[in-house]
Amino acid sequence: MLLASALALAGCSGADDSADKAGGGAAADDKAAAQQARQEESGATGRGGSNGSRATAPPKVSASHIIRTASLTVQVKDVPKALDDARATAEDAGGYVGNETTNRDGRGHERTRVVLRVPTDRYEQVLADLEGTGKVVERTAKAQDVTDQVVDVESRIKSQRASVARVRELMDKATKLSDVVTLEGELSSRESDLEALLARQASLKDRTGLATITLSLSETPVKKAEKKDEDPGFVDALTGGWHVLVTMLRWITLAFGAVLPFAVGLALIVLVWVRLVRPRLPRRTATHPTPAAGAGSLPVARPVGADGSAKGGEED
């Protein structure tokens, strides 16, 4: 009995020791696991701290709330071909071609102005492609942040819709005709304000969703060959003389053409005077002066003979 009791006590103590050892091992394992978890948490915290510092940085503004516009002037050799390429570039990017104007200057050079609307995410790429079509003369780019306007419009639309809903509820509960008329006028006014806000929201969405690029294309001016400073020769003198002769003849022709109408008119006037007017004028007769009354007749000279005596005495 004593031996059995001693064996039983020894077994219990051994079991307790083993249990204590097992529990200690489990506790050690739990402690190690907890320590490892703490290390992982500390590492995560460190990484989170760095991420947190990044997160505290100001967030980037959404590209959908920025209005982008650009103006680009490019000189190209062939304006129609460059215009076709610009259209293809805009359409490939998912945009479209807006207004387009084409004219020619006094020298016959063609100029084209076209407005392109492209998505904002392809704006930079399209602008770079357009710059590569020729020589860039002028470039202007603008970016306007309208985030505040977008948020304000959205908030006002939400409030206005709630206001319209409340007015409609009051109309459903109204029993008097005067109340119904008053509520209808208020509802019409609030719905009008809501439509204006919705139109402004659509405009902001269109302007922020699509960037505007105004492209001006002009032909590259052809450089004239510089003339060498040389002494003029016989051919140069002949060419200059011929040029002067042609210029003089041209001016003479112009002067003759300017005087011809007056000469024709003067000739007609002279012809009418000679043929029609002058023959009908009365002619004046020649008159001789008569001697005065009482005056004696003038002596008549008589021929003198050889002897100096006058002849004709006998005849008298």
> pLDDT tens digit string along 199-213?
999 999 988 889 999
* Contact in structure between 72 and 139 (CB atoms under 8 Å): yes
pLDDT score for 8: 47
Residue type, 4: A
* Contact in structure between 72 and 130 (CB atoms under 8 Å): yes
DSSP 134: S
Whether the full predicted model's pTM is greater than 0.85, yes or no, is no
Residue 58 has pLDDT above 60, yes or no: no
Query: If DSSP codes are grouped into helix, strand and coil, which group holds residue 219?
Result: strand
Residues 6+ apart with CB under 8 A from 54: none
Q: What is the mean pLDDT of residues 168-195?
A: 88
pLDDT digits (tens, 9 = 90+) for 69-90: 999 999 998 888 898 999 999 9
> At 24, which helix (H) or strand (E)?
helix 2-55
Sheet with 66-76, side-by-side order of all strands: 96-104, 110-119, 210-219, 66-76, 135-145
Q: How far is CA 54 from CA 28, 44, 48, in A?
A: 38, 15, 9
Q: What is the mean pLDDT of residues 227-239?
A: 67
pLDDT score for 117: 93
Q: ∠ CA 242-248-250 to the nearest 5 degrees? A: 100
Nearest Cα neighbor of 196 from 147, 153, 155, 148 is 153
pLDDT digits (tens, 9 = 90+) for 148-165: 999 999 999 999 999 999
pLDDT score for 303: 54
Please state, in angstroms and rounded to a whole number, the distance separating the CA atoms of residues 64 and 61. 8
For 89-101, b/e burial (b = at least 16 CB within 10 A) is bbeebebeeeeee
Nearest Cα neighbor of 95 from 116, 65, 71 is 116
What does the chain come to in residues?
316
